[in-house]
Amino acid sequence: MRGMDARTRIDTVAAEARRLGDSRISDLVSAKPARSREFALRVGPLYANFARQRYDRQALDAVFAAFEAAGGTQALNALFDGAQVNPTEARPALHTALRSDLSSSDVARNAHAQACDARAAMRRVVEQLHSSGVTDVVSVGIGGSDLGPRLAVDALAEAGASPVRVHFLSNVDGHAAKRVLAGLDPARTAVLLISKSFGTQETLLNGRILREWLGDGARLYAISANVERAAKEFSIPPERILPMWDWVGGRYSLWSAVGLPIALAIGMDGFEQLLDGAAEMDAHVLRTPMRENLAAWHAATAIFNRNGLGFGAHAVLPYDERLRLLPNYLQQLVMESLGKSVQVDGSPVAGDTVPVWWGGAGTDTQHSFFQALHQGTEPVPCDLIGVVQPSHGHEVNHRALLSNLFAQAEAFANGQASDDPHRSYAGNRPSTMLLLDALTPHAFGALLALYEHSVYLQGVFWGINPFDQFGVELGKQLASTLLPVLEGRDEAHDNVTRELIAQVGARS
Ligand SMILES: O=P(O)(O)OC[C@H]1O[C@](O)(CO)[C@@H](O)[C@@H]1O
C-alpha cells in the first residue's frame, strides 16, 4: 500500500464504490442497526453522524488506508511542525500555531510566540476602541481577509453586547461602499484595513474611499503582512498596524489579527474561546488514528462521493440562521484550496478534485433549491448542520427547525416510492449530520477547524497543494490591462471585449 500514487488511490476508492454497486443507504442502515452509532464521532461540542453515506466500513477503511499510503499522518505532522507544505510558494501553513501549541518544532514554536504577541496587541486595540466612544467599525478586506471574520461576527455577535457595531466592506463595486457608509458618522467610526498583501485592488480602492470619508486618520488601523506598504500608502503609524505573516494563508487567517473584527464584536475573551475550540479540534486531528479521526472521516466522505460516486457538487446546509454565511466562507476555504488540476510536482491530477461547493441556510432553502436536491437527476451530497441549544426563547420554533433538519436528512436517504412518478422520491442521497451542542465561540472554532483539516487531508489524498491559489491571478492581470481601456487610454486586444467596452462607452 505504501507509496501508492494518486491514480491508484483514486482507483481504490472507485473499486469500493463499484463493489457497493446500487447499495441503498436505507439498506446499509437497516442491515446493521449499530451503524447509526458506529458511524458517528464526537469531538468536544461537535457531534458528526456519517451513517447516511453510501459506504460501508470496508470502503471507509480502504479510503483511510489510501490516506495513510499518501502519507496522511506524516503530512499532518508536517503541517503542525511548520514544514513547507506549500511548496509552490516555499512556505509552511501554520494556522494551527495561531491557536495551539502542539508541535515542539522551532518553526512552530516561533510562530506560536509571534501569534501570542499579536494577540496581546489585539487585546490592546480592542480595549482602546471599546472605550473610545467609537460606535461603529468598518472592516475593509476581501476573500480570506473578509469571509472568516464576516461569518464569525454574523454567527457569534449578540446585538448590543459590544460597544461597537462591526460592518464589512469587500466588493470593489462602489454600491457596497455607499451602502455601508449610509447612516455611519465618520467622527464615531473606526476603519480596519485588512490585507495580507496590501496589494489587493478592492481593498486599496475601498480603503482610499474610507480614508477620505474618515477625514481624520486617527481611527484608521491596518492588519497586514506588508507593514511598509500599509504605513506608506495610508500613513498609518506602526502602533496601529497589527501583523500577519506569509506562513498563514489568507483563507486560514481568521485566527490571527485578521480576526480583529471578531474580537471587537464578541470581546477578546470570546475570540480566545474561538481559538480554544479550534485547538481542541487540532489536538484531536493530530493525535487520533484515521479510523477515529473526525477530519479523516469528513475527508474520506468527500473523496468517496467525488471519486467513488462521481458527484460534482456538495451542499452546505446549516439549519441555523446565524450560520447563513458558512457556505460563502467554505466556498473559499474548499474551492480555493482544492480547485486544482495539477499535483504538487506539476503533473496532471489523477482524477476529479473539488466539486462545486454551495448551499444556504435551512429552512429558507427548502423553499428554493431543495426541489432539485430531492428530485434532480444527480444527487448532491450535503453537510446538514444543526445546533442543539438555541440562544433564543422561541422553543416551538426551535423544535420546528430541528424537525425540518432531521426530516430532510431522512427524506434524502430513504426517499419515498409512489405510483405517480411526479410524486416519487428516489432517495439514496448521501448526507452527513453535524450537530453543535450550542453555537458558542468554542464550538464554532472547532467546526471551522474541522473543515480546514478535512480540506488538508483531501489535498494530501489528491497530491495537490491546498495552500496556493494561482488560478485567481489571470483575471486580476487582465483587469489591470483593461482599466486603461475603460479610461480611453488603450485599445482592448480581444474582439469581444472591444465590443463590450464599446457598449459601455455608448451608454455611459
Ligand atoms: O489579504 P489580501 O492580500 O488582500 O488577499 C485577499 C484574498 O485574495 C486572494 O489572494 C485571492 O484573490 C485570496 O487568497 C485572499 O484571501
Each residue's pLDDT expressed in tens, for the chain with a length of 508 residues: 556 899 999 999 999 999 999 999 999 999 999 999 999 999 999 999 999 999 999 999 999 999 999 999 999 999 999 999 999 999 999 999 999 999 999 999 999 999 999 999 999 999 999 999 999 999 999 999 999 999 999 999 998 899 999 999 999 999 999 999 999 999 999 999 999 999 999 999 999 999 999 998 889 999 999 999 999 999 999 999 999 999 999 999 999 999 999 999 999 999 999 999 999 999 999 999 999 999 999 999 999 999 999 999 999 999 999 999 999 999 999 999 999 999 999 999 999 999 999 999 999 999 999 999 999 999 999 999 999 999 999 999 999 999 999 999 999 999 999 999 999 999 999 999 999 999 999 999 999 999 999 999 999 999 999 999 999 999 999 999 999 999 999 999 999 999 999 999 888 8
Strand order in the sheet with 356-359: 40-43, 46-49, 431-438, 382-389, 313-319, 356-359
Please indicate whether residue 256, judged by its CB atom, sits closer than 6 Å to ligand 1: no
| Interval between CA 455 and ligand 1 midpoint (Å) | 18
Residue 147 CA: nearest ligand 1 atom is 16
The Cα–Cα gap between 245 and 248 comes to 6
Strand order in the sheet with 189-194: 165-169, 136-140, 189-194, 220-224, 241-243
Question: Which residue is associated with the grid cell 466500513?
Answer: 57
Question: Which residue is associated with the grid cell 477625514?
Answer: 215
Polymer length of the chain: 508
**The three three-digit cell numbers of residue 340, written as one number:** 486544482
Question: Which residue is associated with the grid cell 487540532?
Answer: 282
**The three three-digit cell numbers of residue 393, written as one number:** 426563547
Residue 194 CA: nearest ligand 1 atom is 1
Contact 463, 349 (CB under 8 A): yes
Whether 196 is catalytic is no
Residue 200 CA: nearest ligand 1 atom is 4
Instruction: Name the amino acid, one letter, at 224.
Output: S
The Cα–Cα gap between 94 and 113 comes to 12
Please indicate whether residue 145, judged by its CB atom, sits closer than 6 Å to ligand 1: yes
Per-residue pLDDT at 160: 86
Contact 108, 123 (CB under 8 A): no
The Cα–Cα gap between 496 and 508 comes to 19
| Interval between CA 271 and ligand 1 midpoint (Å) | 22
The Cα–Cα gap between 360 and 331 comes to 11
Cα-Cα-Cα-Cα dihedral sign, residues 224, 227, 230, 233: negative
Per-residue pLDDT at 482: 96
Per-residue pLDDT at 3: 62
**The three three-digit cell numbers of residue 263, written as one number:** 474580537
ipTM over 0.95? The verdict is yes
Whether 112 is catalytic is no
All residues at 6 or more sequence positions from 246 whose CB lies less than 8 Å from its CB, including other chains: 89, 91, 196, 225
pTM: 0.98
Among protein residues, the one with the nearest Cα to ligand 1's atom 13 is 143
**Cis peptide leading into 189, omega within 30 of 0?**
no
Indicate the DSSP class of residue 158. Answer: P
All residues at 6 or more sequence positions from 287 whose CB lies less than 8 Å from its CB, including other chains: none
Pocket test for ligand 1, best of 91, 195, 196, 202 (most atoms within 8 A of CB): 196
